[in-house]
């Protein structure tokens, strides 16, 4: 019985310590973290790129800021075999689409893009690191029949 009390006491102390640490960091801005999304490119508005994200809750507009360090890429029809290191240090070969560098003016409204961005807190606009135009989806043979 005594050991159970000790375990409960330790758990309570750890919980109180975690809440104190969380309160200390509450006023600090969050460190930006990378995030990737697939969206539809809509338009460019000044230094912001407007994207449309579709999900279970419907469509919503999403914007991110770009600058001279943002990479603009497009997938080509060719595939490239690349070796990657997986879990346990095992190397394997995967097939990825070949990409080429494009300019911002080459983006067309309605294209599917994969966007890598840095997301900070809710007050700041995310920063675009890379925008990659995806290949068109292959058509399904039985669709519409």
Q: What's the pLDDT tens digit per position in 70-111?
A: 999 999 999 999 999 988 889 999 999 999 999 999 999 999
Domain holding 40, by residue range, is 30-133
Would you say residue 101 lies in a domain?
yes
pLDDT higher at 9 or 42: 42
What one-character-per-residue DSSP string does the chain give? Answer: -HHHHHHHHHHHHHHHHHHHHHHHTTTSPPPPEEEEEEEEEEEEETTEEEEEEEETTEEEEEEEE--TT-EEEEEEEEEEEEEEE-GGG-EEEEEEEEEEE--GGG--TT-EEEEEEEE--TTS--EEEEEEEPPPPPPPTTTT-
Would you say residue 143 lies in a domain?
no
Read off the CATH number of the domain in which 115 is found: 2.40.50
Q: What's the pLDDT tens digit per position in 63-72?
A: 899 999 999 9
């Amino acid at each position: 019985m005594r050991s159970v009390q000790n375990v409960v006491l330790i758990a309570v102390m750890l919980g109180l310590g975690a809440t104190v640490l969380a309160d200390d960091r509450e006023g600090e801005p969050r460190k930006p973290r990378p995030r990737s999304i697939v969206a539809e490119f809509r338009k460019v508005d000044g230094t912001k790129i407007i994207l449309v994200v579709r999900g279970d809750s419907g469509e919503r507009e999403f914007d991110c800021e770009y600058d001279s360090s943002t990479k603009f890429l497009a997938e080509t029809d060719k595939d490239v075999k690349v070796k990657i290191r997986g879990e346990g240090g095992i190397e394997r070969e995967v097939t990825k689409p070949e990409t080429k560098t494009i300019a911002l003016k080459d983006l067309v409204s309605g294209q599917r893009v994969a966007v890598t961005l840095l997301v900070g807190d809710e007050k700041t606009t995310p920063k675009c690191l890379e925008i990659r135009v995806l290949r068109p989806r292959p058509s399904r043979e039985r669709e519409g029949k």
